Structure 1
Amino acid sequence: MAHGGPSALTPGQLPSKKRKDVPSLPSNGPNKRPKNSHRPDHRAKQRDARTLATQTTGKAFKNGELDLDKFVRAREYEIRALEEGLTRSKKALNRRAFQQVPKDLRRRTASHNVKKVPKRLRERAKKEMAEDNTPTVTANKRKPTRHMRLRLETAKRLRALGAKKKAEKEKAKAESVTVIDPNAPPADKKKPDDAKPAQSSTAVKSRPPKVKKAALASPPVPKAKFRKRQIYKSWLPTHLFHAKRAHMTPPSTPMWRFCIPLSPTAKSYRPTHRASHERGAVAWDMSYMSTIGLQGRLDSILGLLKALGVASEALNGRQGEKWRAGARVLETFVYMRVQPHELIAPVTLVWCVPSADSVSKSVEEEKQKRKLLVRVHPSAFYQLWEEVLRLGKVSKPQVSVEDLRFDIGSIDITGPGATEALLGALWPSPEPPEPASGQAQPDGGEAMQIDSEPNTPTVGQTWTALAGLNNPAMLPRSALLSLDVQDPRLHHPPRTINLPKTDAEQHKLLELIASWPVEVALRPSQVFDRKARLIASAALPSQKAINRRKSLALPGQYPEALAKDPRIPVLLYTSTASAHAGRSRDTSPASSTWTLLAPWKCIQPIWYSIMYYPLSTGQQPRFGGLSQRRQLAFEAGVPMFPVDFPGTKAGWEWEMQERRRREEEWRRKPKGKRVSWEKVELGGGKKGEMGVGWACDWERLLAGSPAPEAAVEKGQDAAENAEQANAAQGSKKDNGEDTAAKQLKSAPLRPTELTQLPAAQARALLEASDTALPPPRNLVTTLTTVRLALLTRGVSQACARIYRLPSAISNVKLRKQWLALLPTYKPRKQLTQGPKQSLPRLPKDAPPHVVQERLAQSLLELPKAGEDEYPACPVEEDLIGFVTTGNFNLEQGQGTGIGNVLIERVMEEARRDWEGEGRVVVVRNAGDRVGRLARWTVV
């Protein structure tokens, strides 16, 4: 028996093999497998690595005697097999360093650059690459190309030239005229000639520039190396963070004059849904939101808001009392002053607490000097700015208007861990000592005297006591907090805060929410003061100074707060997803969001502390882009501005932008893979898509169906006509642009009669009786936003067509066919539980023939989509609107959509049968022949 060889195995054993033999394929087909063959086992290598070769002890015993030599050799072979098996098993289950990276950070292929692996794994990656002799990628070994070498030499010469010019400027500055101190004693004539005149120790200070109100603000001057990249756009304060981790808007086509993150580079659709609903948090840098500051007498500002269409209950009634006092925020819509009072955009109004001067002097409430912040979407900023500027000039007395777009930034954060992340990042500053009576404040006013109970907690104490709050909707609606916080860099990296664990602590938190002591003692926020914002931004120490203070602190502790530390003023308020939609009846308060307002330059340090905060659930807050905001608004069933407001000026511009994008995507596809719009079959002998297939064709809807001759001409594919024109010209270009590019740029003008009606007014109009007062506008061209819940299978997409049910007079048969597809029962939760096609339940003792009849009835009663018996889509006269946002809703578990309909075409049936057939419509995706039943709700 050979030592450790195959001869040591028993006849019933075979040596282990690393790879299995490929099963032989039959001769009747190259890709066919025999019936008795098994599928390949992909875990054979791992199983084989764990299998150990053994020997029996039978050959060591002969006639009852032990052959010691054979017994030792057999045991030696087994020990060696055990050692080799341990090595093989370890290597089989071993994972390389790049495999230890989280799934959302992994690449499709392994990276051979250790710098792309996290720091904690770099040493291990270097060792593995050295053992495997893996070729490394090192920057200092790369040979620059000829073009790169020329660029490096040019950069070197430019640096030398810049250093030379800088030295010349410094030399000329040193030889400039000296400033003589006028307070110095006159020079003595008896002094020697080498005596020099007394010089001033400080340079001549110029007067600070006066703030020009009623003028558009300029973006902050970027650093020299980033200046060329921001010529036609502006960066957000957190641009460098997002540019490395997200898909940004193209450099040549910024959005709303900003470079905005669209979506994270990692997969984020489902993780965003889980972080915002189950556990975690999602944050957005919303500094691109525009802010307008108003200052003047209270009655003048209220008159301006009334001219913009703000509800009178909030302006003068008891409903807006806390809002006018500065304890709440108001989210509402604003309109144009002139007829037909066109909707501008949803806005957020934040009052500043009355100053101490007006309170101490007992000035009448209407004549008090107040400040107000108006936050609006950047797409509607210029339209609102011109309107507010015009109204501010005609007010008596006038209201000063100020552009604060680049002075105040904002962050939005939502999810169960939103409050916890903010508490870990925002540490309230120590309360300053109370100034003496009459002592001047930084803004020039006197100290505000507040009558409060001695045991009333401060705003900072109230804020820190909110630990454990998972849903901001538990707080008073639109609650507002104003406090000063410390520099977040002093406490970076943040640590997980202590959350309440006992029932007593939870009960204390509920008592705090119920009492809400913030309303007892209100103080003016420094966010409204320009001087305080500038001081907070300019007083931020450098990162080197922060690191120096951290090194002097005790191990494991943060630096102590000093009196000279900058105080960053912030405003925090809550908002729900249904705030602008008028809070629909079936909208849950689960989608509540914290909004933080702070000086523009203070947003970046706050953002980094939020992003790197370790949540108690073991995660970190996620960041989102514009796509994630659309996703969460869609899942909450509320419209998003300006996407779902095509009746406004900003919404129409968004629609034109989306049209060009969809058309370009359609053109890039080959003819064999793109939809031929003129060949789309709609059922019932109808052929050809209604309107432009890649657009929500509101022009076609308002103009009605064209004549047959015009329909044929307009039904032709516009892209094919453009291609034929280009082919005829022989790809000639006129002024550097071809015909297709010109056609993309020539966007149709917005119909002047197209208007948008908010949800509250639309709901009141639809629920009113026929004897109600006449509407103030033309309802034939008025749109309202609705939420669509599909009653059967299917998913609605953007640009889907919305039809009302055929009339009972014109087409009774088709209407009955569609109504037959309605569910036979109404589920209790229309949006959370998908409806099912079900028949009345049979009794348990039903005879067999009745059971068979019921089974056949359930199988043959309703036609399936795509069959000949399936109802055809209604005619174009029944077209009432389009879907602006549609997809499968992860929260509802079914297909939903957000669309707009002409209110005049649904008003009659909705008033007649509000809860029944009056709210049932047919939704058909563009380019598809199958329609789906859906139920609409005004939002």
Structure 2
Amino acid sequence: MDPKAAVTFDPTELIKARENEIKALTKEVLSESGSKRAFQLLPRYMRRRTMSSNAYLVPSRLRAKALREIELGGTIKNTKKRRYRKTKRILNRVRHYKKRQITKKWLPTHLWHAKRFHMENKWGYRIARSPTNKGARAIYRAVKTESVIYDATHTAPIKLSGKQKELIFMLGHLSQPATANLLYLRGGQYGSNWLYEKKDAKLPKLVCPMEFYWKPLVGKEKSSSQDTNEMEREVWVFVHPAAFPEAHVLFLKFLNENKLDVIVTPLQMKFARFQLMGPKCNKVLTTVLHEVEPLVEHTSSSLADNMFRKVMSVKPSALPKRAVLSFTVLDPRVKKYIGLGVLRKPIPYAPPSITPPDFLLKWDPKWSHSFLWEVGEGDGKISFDENLSKAPKPGKGKGLWGKKNPSSTTEDKMDIAKDLPSLSNNNEQQAQKTESKFWGTCKVLERDINARKIPPSDLYKSRTEVMLMQNPGVNGYTSGWTFLCEISWATTFWRAFFKAGAKAIGYAEYEHMQFEAGVPSFPISFPDTLSGQVEADKRDAEESEKYLRRPPSKRPNFEKLGIHSPFRSPWASLFSSCDITDIRVLREDLSAYFSGSKAIPVGSLLPVWVWLPEGGTTIKPNARIYHPDYDNDHNEVIIGFVSNGKYSFKQGACKALAFVRADTTITILQKNNNRAPIYIRNIQSQWYHPAYATLHQDQ
């Protein structure tokens, strides 16, 4: 046979040659004598228990087989249908949802999370705690190799507006001087700091950690320092929701005492804030975000400089620390409706580079200019007098165990500013609320897109302003981006990020990620703050109620174990003459205390990491820490308590964050080369485990 001759293929002859085999295979597939039922041929995620008795629940391609099986009697006998109580029909679902938010607020992504997460009331919000599918180790792997996303919309900013010199004076007295650093004043990068109640005191009272971001100076970079001090500026102060009312009232009181012409505007539920972490968060962002020109005149040149593409080509941890990038993006649902044909060419994903270009190392504030500063400008402002007579006053209440307190409870103090919209010390009357000046609100509904009621030309005009804030993480771990957009776009972008490959987590997983990174979680790991004390009270009440529900024979006897406060750490008991309000944690200038140039104040705690060299057990919260000389003199001297302890996937062992007496522990650390030997005992155990403690340095 000539190999160069043309080879012809006739499919008819092939089918005829295999006709008997095809018929035998078809007969075997359709035969009821097999071991599998019709619904068992489906994937597990498509199976339903009622398919065995109701053939119409089976997909149409297998329905005939299911009907034949039922006719032949190969089915379970139908049981009597269970009668369900009639539920009241919801006529107005929006009004019904608002009624359910009287005592707590729902985040914009609440309905999405409620179907997939365990929900919990936390800090005045209904927040997702953890996903229903178990996978703590899988989430840790996703942080290391993939991308995760966390809805942090509850962390809202407080906007301060006024002259730059007055804002610097105010923040300088309530926080560290870093807030007035020129690097942050230019507006290209945001910073982090501590917010104090009385910073000028010998040992100031901490309120909470905060993040601050100055509005960029676009077109006025070359102005003299004297001109910029007289310039009207704005700054956002992001605080945790547990301390938001306290921080709000703190700003108002400071303005009242110092007669400053500064406007304080809380921006709760004005922005959606998502935390994207992991090495592939750039891939998720480039999949969802498509940079376009804004519909109004823009003073920045982010699109002209093609900054989004350039930034996405570099690892987040390699960029300038806490850099901010703002730009306009297209509605992410455009792809679903009209495809990518009308969009700019999508960015081909490539592994980000570790070394950024030289021009990215000097961040230009014009790349950070955003229209998001206009969000909330239409809100009304009310005035107040010198004594804050318009602000609600804390009243007398009862303590946790029903005892009357001479002063207001911590819960009352935290609710002072709950209903304050926006206060200034100008002699203004209450202004009428007007529509916000921000142009980029979401006006296109999802149901209209699905019903194809929106013309492609109108949908292409649907765009908004977004902001990316670089998160440096700790040694590259948990590095990524903080995504900020107007609140009406929250669900749209959340679904788009999830479909692009980001794994959603709750606040329990987010706290565990902070624990792995060596960052204390606010407020539970801040015992010297009012928010930390409130959180400890709530956990004490919840754990006590859970403990008392169990019969005495099925619960540990803490009285016999010698544990007088099992569900909270009695910090004041470490000192003979201190109250809980006098407790302070040493976080700054620790070298001065170690060298002896500064005297250690009474009631001071020192944060340390506790390790078990031999392993074999788990360090649990509220565990007792004993002096290393316990084994010699058998004198139980408690020097501290564990705040948060669990198994660390990163270390492959158990570790814990604890707070110990500063004076005793500093002496032990100096004698043992900064590795203090201690003993640790869990509240449900009689064993004293040898361990060691190392100094914790806040990142």
Q: TM-score with structure 1 length normalisation?
A: 0.58
Identify the match of residue 624 of structure 2 among 788, 801, 805.
Answer: 801
Match of 2:50 in 1: 112
Pairing 1:28-47 to 2, within 5 Å after superposition: none
**Cα distance change, pair 575–515 in 1 and its aligned pair in 2 (3 A):** closer
Match of 2:653 in 1: 894
Cα distance, 1:286 vs structure 2: 0.9
**Cα distance change, pair 287–113 in 1 and its aligned pair in 2 (3 A):** farther
Pairing 1:735-750 to 2, within 5 Å after superposition: none
CA distance, structure 2, for counterparts of residue 605 and residue 921 of structure 1: 52
Pairing 1:404-423 to 2, within 5 Å after superposition: 404-423=267-286
Report if the CA contact (8 A) 1:475-1:513 is conserved: no
Report if the CA contact (8 A) 1:309-1:333 is conserved: yes
Cα distance, 1:305 vs structure 2: 0.8
Report if the CA contact (8 A) 2:574-2:661 is conserved: no
Cα distance, 1:366 vs structure 2: 1.2
CA distance, structure 1, for counterparts of residue 504 and residue 656 of structure 2: 25
Report if the CA contact (8 A) 2:441-2:486 is conserved: no
**Cα distance change, pair 113–774 in 1 and its aligned pair in 2 (3 A):** farther
**Cα distance change, pair 525–468 in 1 and its aligned pair in 2 (3 A):** closer
**Cα distance change, pair 462–90 in 1 and its aligned pair in 2 (3 A):** farther
Cα distance, 1:528 vs structure 2: 1.2
CA distance, structure 2, for counterparts of residue 235 and residue 529 of structure 1: 24
CA distance, structure 2, for counterparts of residue 521 and residue 85 of structure 1: 67
1:875 has 2:635 as partner: yes
Aligned residue type for 2:522: F
The alignment partner of 1:416 has SS state of coil
Identify the match of residue 655 of structure 1 among 536, 553, 556.
Answer: 536
Match of 2:608 in 1: 786
Cα distance, 1:293 vs structure 2: 0.2
Pairing 1:449-468 to 2, within 5 Å after superposition: 458=303, 461-467=306-312
1:910 has 2:635 as partner: no
Match of 1:481 in 2: 325
1:753 has 2:624 as partner: no
How far does the alpha carbon of each residue in 1:854-885 deviate from its partner, in whole angstroms, 9 at most, with x for none?
A: xxxxxxxxxxxxxxxxxxxx6332x1211121
Report if the CA contact (8 A) 2:318-2:355 is conserved: no
Q: TM-score with structure 2 length normalisation?
A: 0.76
CA distance, structure 2, for counterparts of residue 550 and residue 359 of structure 1: 50
Cα distance, 1:801 vs structure 2: 1.1
How far does the alpha carbon of each residue in 1:880-913 deviate from its partner, in whole angstroms, 9 at most, with x for none?
A: 2111211111111011111222212212222344
How far does the alpha carbon of each residue in 1:137-170 deviate from its partner, in whole angstroms, 9 at most, with x for none?
A: 99xx97865x52xx56xx5xx97xx9xxxxxxxx
The alignment partner of 2:618 has SS state of coil
CA distance, structure 1, for counterparts of residue 152 and residue 368 of structure 2: 26
Identify the match of residue 527 of structure 1 among 364, 372, 375.
Answer: 372
**Cα distance change, pair 283–137 in 1 and its aligned pair in 2 (3 A):** farther
Report if the CA contact (8 A) 2:149-2:277 is conserved: yes
Pairing 1:547-696 to 2, within 5 Å after superposition: 547=450, 562=460, 565-578=461-474, 588-613=475-500, 620-680=501-561, 688-689=562-563, 691-696=564-569
Match of 2:187 in 1: 326
1:774 has 2:596 as partner: no
Cα distance, 1:637 vs structure 2: 2.2
Report if the CA contact (8 A) 1:467-1:498 is conserved: no
Report if the CA contact (8 A) 1:112-1:135 is conserved: no
For structure 2, list consecutive stretches of 5 or more residues without a partner in the other structure.
1-23, 379-435
1:307 has 2:173 as partner: yes
Report if the CA contact (8 A) 1:421-1:621 is conserved: yes
Report if the CA contact (8 A) 1:409-1:598 is conserved: yes
Cα distance, 1:485 vs structure 2: 1.8
**Cα distance change, pair 769–506 in 1 and its aligned pair in 2 (3 A):** closer
The alignment partner of 2:100 has SS state of helix
**Cα distance change, pair 294–805 in 1 and its aligned pair in 2 (3 A):** same
Identify the match of residue 444 of structure 2 among 535, 541, 544.
Answer: 541
CA distance, structure 1, for counterparts of residue 175 and residue 77 of structure 2: 66
Pairing 1:381-420 to 2, within 5 Å after superposition: 381-395=244-258, 397-420=260-283
> Which has a greater percent of strand?
2
The alignment partner of 1:379 has SS state of coil
Identify the match of residue 139 of structure 2 among 264, 272, 284.
Answer: 272
Report if the CA contact (8 A) 2:619-2:645 is conserved: yes
1:281 has 2:147 as partner: yes
1:96 has 2:40 as partner: yes
1:937 has 2:695 as partner: yes
**Cα distance change, pair 100–523 in 1 and its aligned pair in 2 (3 A):** same
RMSD of aligned Cα (Å): 4.0
Cα distance, 1:372 vs structure 2: 0.4
Report if the CA contact (8 A) 1:329-1:348 is conserved: yes
**Cα distance change, pair 785–513 in 1 and its aligned pair in 2 (3 A):** farther
Report if the CA contact (8 A) 2:186-2:221 is conserved: no
Aligned residue type for 1:269: A
Match of 2:196 in 1: 335
Cα distance, 1:393 vs structure 2: 3.6
The alignment partner of 1:752 has SS state of helix
CA distance, structure 1, for counterparts of residue 67 and residue 528 of structure 2: 64
CA distance, structure 1, for counterparts of residue 304 and residue 605 of structure 2: 44
**Cα distance change, pair 142–342 in 1 and its aligned pair in 2 (3 A):** same
CA distance, structure 2, for counterparts of residue 125 and residue 876 of structure 1: 72
CA distance, structure 2, for counterparts of residue 113 and residue 885 of structure 1: 48
Report if the CA contact (8 A) 1:788-1:934 is conserved: yes
CA distance, structure 2, for counterparts of residue 785 and residue 129 of structure 1: 66
**Cα distance change, pair 632–315 in 1 and its aligned pair in 2 (3 A):** closer
Match of 1:241 in 2: 112
How far does the alpha carbon of each residue in 1:657-690 deviate from its partner, in whole angstroms, 9 at most, with x for none?
A: 111222222222222221112333xxxxxxx33x
Cα distance, 1:467 vs structure 2: 4.2
Match of 2:6 in 1: none
Aligned residue type for 1:624: I
Aligned residue type for 1:515: L
Q: Max radius of gyration: which structure?
A: 1
Match of 2:127 in 1: 260
For structure 1, list consecutive stretches of 5 or more residues without a partner in the other structure.
1-79, 163-221, 436-446, 451-455, 554-558, 579-587, 614-619, 681-687, 705-748, 815-873
How far does the alpha carbon of each residue in 1:514-535 deviate from its partner, in whole angstroms, 9 at most, with x for none?
A: 6357527445321111359654
CA distance, structure 1, for counterparts of residue 604 and residue 281 of structure 2: 38
The alignment partner of 2:208 has SS state of strand
CA distance, structure 1, for counterparts of residue 365 and residue 529 of structure 2: 40
Aligned residue type for 2:124: R
CA distance, structure 1, for counterparts of residue 258 and residue 77 of structure 2: 71
**Cα distance change, pair 474–241 in 1 and its aligned pair in 2 (3 A):** same
Match of 1:209 in 2: none
State how many pairs are aligned.
601
Cα distance, 1:122 vs structure 2: 4.8
Identify the match of residue 591 of structure 2 among 764, 767, 772.
Answer: 764
How far does the alpha carbon of each residue in 1:521-567 deviate from its partner, in whole angstroms, 9 at most, with x for none?
A: 445321111359654464522335545779866xxxxx7974xx244
CA distance, structure 2, for counterparts of residue 361 and residue 506 of structure 1: 39
Instruction: Report 1 or 2 for greater relative contact order, CA contacts < 8 Å, sequence distance ≥ 6.
Output: 2
CA distance, structure 1, for counterparts of residue 110 and residue 585 of structure 2: 34
Pairing 1:807-822 to 2, within 5 Å after superposition: 813=632
